[in-house]
Structure 1
Amino acid sequence: MRAERAAAPTLADLAWTFVRIASTSFGGYMAMISVIQQVVVERRKLLASQDVLDGVALASALPGPIALNVAAYVGYRLRGARGAAVCLAAAVLPAFALMVAFSAAYARWGQAPEVGRVFMGLLPAVAAVMVSAAWQLGAKALPGRREAALAAGAAVTLLCTNAWYATLLLIAASALLGRYWLPAGPAAAAGATTEPAREAAPAAVKLPLLFCPPQLLEACLAPPAQLLLQLFLTFAGMSLLLFGGSYVFVPLLQHAAVDAHGWVSRREFADAVALAQLMPGPAVVSVAFVGYKVAGVAGAAAATAGMLLPPAVLLVLCAGLLERVKSSAALGAALRGVRAGVVGMVAAAAVYIGRAAPAGAASLLIFALALACLRRYRSDPIWVVPPAGLLGLLVY
């Protein structure tokens, strides 16, 4: 069935929407994807559920931060390349601003503020957001027993392994099972998609920069600009190796920032990773800490831009190709399998977050209250997650 859609939002509306989404996305990349599903599909009806699942599948198969790539994909589907740029910038802005603020505090006082009890309350609420998203996604992506079995298999597999390549293998396996095992059906729900505004992706002009000899570029710049360029190019190269989420990112970042360049000490690096766990959005925001330590706010911006821009450009280019081939029956069947697998991955991520919450009646109460607000009253996560943190401050 065709999803009921609202009119295409303005760029300013998209920016505000994704700032709000990012501000409540605690708990890793699946938490942000869950909030995107809750706001973009359920509340705003800007895209169909299948569209978001396609974005998750594409982002999982490409390098870069998965949640931010999904944000860029949603923006591209709604407003073309400009929408992708706006959504990407808005999705990282809250975490970036908080990380810069914490980095400044760290530089002055040597440690971050203690907010442990607040985040003990956030975790059950984040798990509830993810359970709600899996519920909503499953209602449309699991029409039969085979799709449900595929989703369950993906969830169990993800819960039983922490290997960095697990997500990639699950996406590939889901596509194969969708193509050859699921019953015949419509090709990728082609009627439920919207074409983005066709325009040349302005970010694409930045790609040649990544292939220019760094020595040639640095020779043309003053020393402060050379340092910013070095930060950008270092993290741009790393971003194209980032598959499978932050588990593979941490050792790569440590090698570059600590061993290769000596930008931060091992203690400072460990503190940066710890701070990233307190931020909404993806853990890759820890590169802002490294950039700030090297060159202040400009360095934080250069490091973050290097980590985000190349994967986002690659995703936009591949998203345009995906739209042209989605009418293929074979690809449509594969995407049906991927959508079912993604439902299982979201459910598994909810279990991971739930396990991290403190055991006891208080966590169960916060989880139940948050899930009731999300499912029964259709509350926006922005009105559910922060109050849960305040409740955690009182009860733990």
Structure 2
Amino acid sequence: MQRIDARGGPAGRPTPAEIFLAFLRLGLVAFGGPAMVAYIRDLAVTRRRWVAPAVFEEGIALCQSIPGATAMQAAAYAGLRAGGARGALAAYAGFGLPAVCLMTGLSELYLRTREITAAAALFGGLKVVVLALVANAAVDFGRRFVRDARDAGLAAAAALFLAAGGSPVLAVALAAGAGLVLYREVTGAAPVPGPPPAGWRALGPAAAAAGVLAAFGAALFRLRPDLFALFAVMARVDLFAFGGGYAAAPLLFHEVVEARRWLDAGAFLDGMALGQVTPGPIVVTATFVGHQVAGVAGAAAATVGIFGPSFLAVLVGAPTFDRFRGSAPFRRGVRGVLVTFVGLLAAVAFRFGLVVPWRPAAVLIGVGAFAALRRGVNVLWVVAAAGASAVLLP
């Protein structure tokens, strides 16, 4: 076992290769989205002792305060504390690689088989599961963030705004401003005991990562404008997806289906369904979208776009978290954004309900899936049972 030093990282740091392989193995079984945070903690804190418990908990607070998929960012944070910026990249890539590779393969298979009768029935059932998953996420968000009449009103306004054709990105921005006014009783957080925040030099890796991401986007803009459009859209979705992977669903649906019509609503739902049968975060749906639009190159561009800003947010946030965490305006704005996602998820669930091919079996599958999710059944078992039922039931 490695000894943890006073800064929360190991006295003898693991190599990036060790970190990559450890998180790659974890990424192969990373079903369950945010629930994977507990397994990341077990790996980095309990078994490998790469990160001190208190430091990891502070990292989770960071990941819940910035946009992006929480489990992916928790992996990056653990890697950052274990092995610096290279460790963060190794953990992030290792944890996400299985999902991206599997989704790329499934996207190609989808193009070849979706018209087959059995496959069509399977995806019909999985569409119902996606509706249940989004509805369940809306309920979970509501239980966590809707506390009074102000919250309920803001969530309802967001749902109506999206139903009327408004942009969810604009809704998120407006919600942050509304939060500043509505939640004036929210104060800044007390500083976390321990070493003082890192200096600005600690942002060097973040600056380097931002440079690489910008260079990638510039190269696409010059060489393949269609791929740049995929990259830019996914990056914008990622930058506004506060609250974890499911918060990206309304943003992604709006950009891909309504604004640009890259996919119809049914195909988008199929992509989200495939995102549930692969390990990793639900936002790997972006890889599916990219593949449907522009093949493997499109999948790569969309994947970098949806995951790049999240990784950058961890590198920027880790050395500066105490500064903005203690800011009352920041906390008010974040509360407004998180409340808004309750309404956005509810509106998207309604939209998905209009697309699902309803029949008696679909109703039974949907009700059963939602009930199972509310009881805490692992999402992989819910998806598997629903898929089998869709094929077998008339």
Q: TM-score range by the shorter chain?
A: 0.5 to 0.7
Aligned equivalents of 2:259 and 2:158: distance in 1? 27
Match of 1:119 in 2: 123
Distance of 1:189 and 1:350 partners within structure 2: 37
Tell me, in whole angstroms, the C-alpha distance in 2 between the residues paired with 1:336 and 1:139.
14
Match of 1:206 in 2: 212
2:150 maps to amino acid? R
| Residues 206 and 339 of structure 1, relative CA distance in 2, 3 Å threshold | same
User: Does the CA contact (< 8 Å) of 2:126 and 2:386 recur in 1?
Assistant: yes
SS at structure 1 position matched to 2:205: coil
Equivalent position of 1:73 in the other structure: 73
The runs of 5 or more residues in structure 1 that have no matched partner are 1-7, 23-34, 60-68, 216-228, 256-268, 293-299
Q: Secondary structure at the match of 1:334?
A: helix
Q: Which residue of 2 aligns with 1:314?
A: 309
Q: What are the residue-to-residue correspondences of 1:104-115 with 2, within 5 Å?
A: 105=112, 113-114=116-117, 115=119
Aligned length: 319
Establish whether residue 285 from structure 1 lines up as the match of residue 261 from structure 2.
Answer: no
Query: CA–CA distance in 2 between the matches of 1:349 and 1:394?
Result: 28
Q: CA contact under 8 A between 2:130 and 2:273: conserved in structure 1?
A: no
Question: How far apart in 2 are the matches of 1:387 and 1:137?
Answer: 25
Q: Find the partner of 1:136 among 140, 143, 152.
A: 140
Structure number with higher relative contact order (C-alpha < 8 Å, ≥ 6 residues apart): 1
Deviation at 1:154, TM superposition (A): 1.9
Contact 1:147 1:182 in 2 (8 A): no
Q: Residue 188 of structure 1 contacts residue 331 of structure 1 at CA under 8 Å; is this kept in 2?
A: no
1:259 is matched with none
Q: Which residue identity is paired with 2:338? A: R
Q: 1:97 aligns with which of 92, 97, 105?
A: 105
Residues 322-357 of structure 1: per-residue CA shift (max 9 Å, x gap): 434222111011111111112222233333333332
1:394, 1:85 → 2: CA distance? 38
Q: Distance in 2 between matches of 1:392 and 1:212?
A: 45
Cα-to-partner distance string for 1:245-296 (whole Å, 9 max, x where unaligned): 25544799899xxxxxxxxxxxxx99x968857743425524335655xxxx
- Measured after TM superposition, the shift of residue 304 of structure 1 is 2.5
Residues 7-156 of structure 1: pairs in structure 2 closer than 5 A: 14-15=23-24, 36-37=33-34, 39-40=36-37, 54-55=65-66, 58-59=67-68, 72-80=72-80, 81-82=88-89, 83-102=91-110, 105=112, 113-114=116-117, 115-156=119-160
* Residue 149 (structure 1) shift: 2.4
Structure 2 CA distance for aligned equivalents of residues 204 and 53 of structure 1? 21
TM-score, structure 2 as length reference: 0.63
Q: Is the 8 A contact 2:217 2:228 kept in 1?
A: no
Describe the shift of the 1:369–1:214 C-alpha distance in structure 2 as closer, same or farther (beyond 3 A): closer
The root-mean-square deviation of aligned C-alpha atoms, in Å, is 4.5
In structure 2, list runs of 5 or more residues that go unmatched: 1-9, 11-18, 43-55, 81-87, 237-250, 276-283
**Residue type of the alignment partner of 1:331:** F
State the distance in 2 between where 1:344 and 1:43 align. 30
Alpha-carbon distance, 1:359 to partner: 3.1
